[in-house]
Homo-oligomer: A and B are copies of this chain.
Amino acid sequence: MPLKVRKNRAPQPPDTCPLSACMAVIGGAWTANVVWYLGAGPRRFSELKGDLAPVSARVLTRRLRELEDAGVVQRHAMATSPPSVEYTLSELGRELLPAIEAIVAVGHRLKARAAAA
């Protein structure tokens, strides 16, 4: 084994600027939607899974863990039977909401233009 060299070490870009920092957090598949749904209030795992329709458990779990690591969501496991886990936005997470809403707002414009084209 000749000690595999990593030539593409920079998967995502200007990691230090605030713009990219935030995009790194909300950029993954479904991530922005997760935050959006959590913005309406606490939500259980299976509820989120239902909200996001065809998302796989694997990806949803991954996204929630990432958001947790970023400090924007909090995970509360309840020792019930069957077990249930509730996710909520942290204070920091709620600061994402204005951005998400701004994105939704332009989204409408973009969709309108895409429909026209």
Contacts and interface: CB of A to CB of B under 8 A. Distances in A.
A5 interface: no
Secondary structure of the A contact surface, majority rule: helix
The number of times this chain is found in the oligomer is 2
A100 B100 CA distance: 10
A99 B70 CA distance: 20
B12 A29 contact: yes
B52 A106 contact: no
A64 to B, nearest CB: 15
A75 B33 CA distance: 32
Nearest to A98: B102
B92 A99 contact: no
Given A10-B54, A21-B114, A33-B17, A92 B109 contact: yes
A97 B94 CA distance: 21
Nearest to A96: B106
Interface string A102-116: 111111111101100
Interface of A: 10, 12-14, 17-23, 25-27, 29-30, 32-33, 36, 52-55, 70-72, 92, 95-96, 98-100, 102-111, 113-114, 117
For the complex of A and B, the 3 pairs showing the least CB-CB separation, nearest first, are A18-B107, A22-B107, A99-B102
